[in-house]
Amino acid sequence: MQHIVVTVNGVELADGEVAAHTTTLDWLRARGLTGAKEGCAEGECGACSVLVAAPDDDGGTAWTAVNACLLPVAALDGQEVVTAEGLGTPDAPHPVQAALAADGASQCGYCTPGFACSMAAQFYRPGRADHAHHAPNGFDLHALSGNLCRCTGYRPIRDAAFALGQPDADDPIAARRASPPPAPRPTRVEHDGERFVRPADLTETLGLLRDEPDATVVAGSTDWGVEVNLRGRRTPLTVAIEHLPELREVHVDESAIEIGAALSLAEVQRRLGGRVPLLEALFPQFASPLIRNRATLGGNLGTASPIGDAAPALLALEARLRLASADGEREVDLAEYFTGYRQTVRRPDELIRSVRIPLPLADLAAFHKVAKRRYDDISSVAVGFAIDVGDDGTVVAARIGLGGVAATPIRARATEAALTGRPWDLDTVRDAASVMGGEGTPMSDHRASAEYRALMLNRALLKLYRSTAREEVRA
C-alpha cells in the first residue's frame, strides 16, 4: 500500500487510506474543503468543479476545470489542484469571485464555487483577449455550459463573466502556467480489496491487462465516476492510463490523422486546430467543457455506448482504431468494431491506442445532434455526415454515422447508397431522407419517442441540404 500525495491550494496533503473508488469531491470534503459541492454526482451540474494543473501545448500548465465528483482522487497522486477556497478568501477574493459577488450572480450560492472554478479556467486561458468574437474580454460562455444554477437564470453570471479583466502581473495562479504541471508518476493504492494502479509505462499497462483481464481501464473516468456514484460499481482493479505518452500523440501524414486515445477531447480540439471540420462541429456539442477536459475518444469508444457522440462522427470519417495488447497491435475499422449493446471486438487485454482518420476528408461535413436541451444533454439522435460532391454536382461518396437509433452506433448504409451517384439536389435528398428515416431500430424512452427519432433522421438530411443550399446562395 502506498500513500497518495495531492497538492491542494499549494499544500501537500497525504493520505494512506484512499479507496480506489474515492472521488476527489468526497476526499476534499472529508478534509474540510467543503467549497466544492455535490449537486448530481454525475458530471452534469458542475457544483463540484475544481481546477487541475494539466499540460498545455507549449510545455507549460493549463488550469483545467474538471468535475471533482467523477475523478478518482488516486488519479491525482502527485498532481496539483486548486479549489474555490484556494482561489481567494472573503477578505481577498479572486477576480472571478469578486465579479460573481458584485452584482447578483449568486443567490443560494451552492453552485457558485463551481462556477468560480469554471470561470477561473477561462480567466486563465492563454490568448483569451485575442478571441473577442466571444465577448469583448474574450470570455467563451460555453465554458460555463456544464454548470447549472437553479436560482439566478444565468443573466448575472453571464454579465460577471463578461466583466472580467486579465490576470494581474503578480497573480501566482497565472504565473504557475509558465512551468510544466507535475510529471505523472506511478501510483499503486490498495484498500478494502480494491486496487488503483497507474502503471509506469505502456508495457507495464499491457502486461497488467494481460495478467488481469477483468481490470477496469480509466482515462478521463467520466463514465467510471457515474458508475461508481450512481450505480455503486466497485471493481477489484482500476488501471489509469491517461498519462501514457504513447496514447497522447497526434500524428498527421498524407494518408491519415492519428489521434491518441487518451488525449482529452479538449486537448484533441486544441491540437487539431480545426483540421477536421466534422470533429470541430462535434466538440462543442459533446457534453460540457468540464467533461471534455477529461473525457477521451478512447473512453467514449471503449464504453461503446450507443448514444456516445464521438462514434457517429468517427463512423462518418471512416475512422480505424489501433488496438494494442501485450501480443502486439492490430487495426480495426470502427464500422466493424461494435458488435452489440456495449459490446465490441476489443479483447479485455487490449487498449485503444489511437484513432486513425484517413485523408483526404470529405468536402461536406456536419454533425447534427437532437436533444432536449441545446447545451450539455445526451443525444436522442446524433448524425455525422461526410459527403463528397463531385465538380459535376454528383454525390461521389457519402458516409453517415448514426447514434441513438440502434443497440450500437451504426453506418446509414442504405442512405449512403441512395445518395451515391446521384446529383446533390432536393429530389435526391428527399428520396434519401425517406430511406434514412428507416435506418436503425429506434426505441421510445424518456428522451424521445421512436417516431420522433425516426423522423429526426429523415429531417437531418433535409436540414443538411438546406444549410448547404443556403451557403451556395450566399456565395
Partner 1 sequence: MSELAARPAGAVVGQRMTHESAVQHATGVATYTDDLAARRAGVLTAWPVQSEHAHARIRLDVAPALEVPGVVHVLTADDVPGVNDAGTKHDEPLFPDEARYHGHALAWVLGESAEAARRGAAAVRVEYEPLPSIVTIGEAIEAGSFQGFAPTVQRGDAASALATAPHVFEGESVVGGQEHFYLETHASLAHVDSEGQVFLDSSSQHPSETQEIVAHVLGVPSHRVTVQVLRLGGGFGGKEMQPHGLAAVAALGAVRTGRPVRLRLTRTQDLTMTGKRHPYHATWRAGFDDDGRLLALEATLTADGGWCLDLSEPVLGRALCHVDNAYWIPDVAVHGRIAKTNKTSQTAFRGFGGPQGMFVIEDILGRVAPQLGLDAATIRERNLYRPGQTTPYGQEVRHAERLHEIWQRLRTESAFDERRAEIARFNAGSADVKRGLAMTPVKFGISFTFTAYNQAGALVHVYKDGSVLVNHGGTELGQGLHTKMLQVAATALGVPFAAVRLAPTRTDKVPNTSATAASSGADLNGGAVKHACDQIRDRLAEVAAAHLGGDAGDIRFADGVVVSSATERAMAFAELVETAYHERVQLFAAGFYRTEGLGWDPATMQGTPFKYFAYGAAAAEVEVDGFTGATRLRRVDIVHDVGDSLSPLVDLGQVEGAFMQGAGWLMLEELRWDETDGPGRGRLLTQSASTYKLPSFSELPDELNVHFLERAREDGAVYGSKAVGEPPFMLAFSVREAIRDAVAAFGPTGRSVELASPATPEATFWAIEGARAAGAPGTPADEPTSETTDAAASVTAGT
- Contacts to partner 1 from residues 215-244, by CB under 8 A: 226, 229-230, 232
* Residue 20 CB, nearest approach to partner 1 (Å): 12
* Residue 230 CB, nearest approach to partner 1 (Å): 6
Name 280's bridge partners: none
SS3 content of the chain, % helix, strand, coil (to 5): 35, 25, 45
In DSSP notation, 271-322 reads HHTTSSHHHHHHGGGSS-HHHHTT-BHHHHHHTT-TT-SHHHHHHHTT-EEE
Distance CA 207, CA 150 (A): 48
* Residue 423 CB, nearest approach to partner 1 (Å): 21
* Residue 40 CB, nearest approach to partner 1 (Å): 4
Candidates 17, 57, 58, 103: give the one binding partner 1 (CB under 8 A): 103
- Residues numbered 74 to 93 that lie near partner 1 (CB under 8 A) are 83-85, 87-90, 93
Q: Which of 359, 365, 452, 360 is nearest to 401 (CA)?
A: 365
**Diameter over CA atoms, the chain:** 69
Distance CA 337, CA 321 (A): 8
- Antiparallel, parallel or unpaired: β 395-403 and 381-389: antiparallel
Candidates 339, 341, 466, 471: give the one binding partner 1 (CB under 8 A): 466
* Residue 458 CB, nearest approach to partner 1 (Å): 9
Distance CA 275, CA 290 (A): 23
When the beta carbons of 237 and 462 are compared against partner 1, the nearer one is 462
Edge-to-edge strand list for the sheet holding 256-260: 250-252, 256-260, 351-358, 320-325, 328-333
When the beta carbons of 88 and 184 are compared against partner 1, the nearer one is 88
Q: What are phi and psi of 275, to 5 degrees?
A: -65, -25
When the beta carbons of 24 and 112 are compared against partner 1, the nearer one is 112
Question: Taking CB under 8 A as the rule, does residue 386 contact partner 1?
Answer: no
When the beta carbons of 319 and 456 are compared against partner 1, the nearer one is 456
Judged by CB under 8 A, which stretch of 173-181, 329-337, 367-375, 385-393 contacts partner 1? Answer: 367-375
**Binding residues for partner 1, total number by CB under 8 A:** 87
Distance CA 320, CA 340 (A): 18
Half-sphere exposure at residue 10, Cβ-oriented, CA atoms within 13 angstroms: 8
Judged by CB under 8 A, which stretch of 60-68, 100-108, 132-140, 208-216 contacts partner 1? Answer: 100-108
**Segment (H or E) for 73:** none
Question: Taking CB under 8 A as the rule, does residue 443 contact partner 1?
Answer: no
Question: Taking CB under 8 A as the rule, does residue 450 contact partner 1?
Answer: no
Candidates 8, 68, 75, 111: give the one binding partner 1 (CB under 8 A): 111
Q: Which three cell numbers stand for residue 201?
A: 509505462
Distance CA 135, CA 155 (A): 14
* Residue 448 CB, nearest approach to partner 1 (Å): 5
**Long-range pairs for 270-277: beta carbons < 8 A, 24 or more residues apart:** 270/57, 271/57, 276/317, 276/357, 276/361, 277/361, 277/365
Candidates 23, 67, 79, 106: give the one binding partner 1 (CB under 8 A): 106
* Residue 455 CB, nearest approach to partner 1 (Å): 8
When the beta carbons of 195 and 248 are compared against partner 1, the nearer one is 195
- Residues numbered 133 to 192 that lie near partner 1 (CB under 8 A) are 141-142, 144-145, 148-156, 158
When the beta carbons of 152 and 354 are compared against partner 1, the nearer one is 152
- Antiparallel, parallel or unpaired: β 237-240 and 194-198: parallel
When the beta carbons of 89 and 343 are compared against partner 1, the nearer one is 89
- Residues numbered 21 to 50 that lie near partner 1 (CB under 8 A) are 26, 29-42, 44-45, 47
When the beta carbons of 249 and 452 are compared against partner 1, the nearer one is 452
* Residue 289 CB, nearest approach to partner 1 (Å): 11
When the beta carbons of 262 and 282 are compared against partner 1, the nearer one is 282
When the beta carbons of 283 and 337 are compared against partner 1, the nearer one is 283
Question: Taking CB under 8 A as the rule, does residue 108 contact partner 1?
Answer: yes
When the beta carbons of 28 and 218 are compared against partner 1, the nearer one is 28
Q: What are phi and psi of 51, to 5 degrees?
A: -105, 135
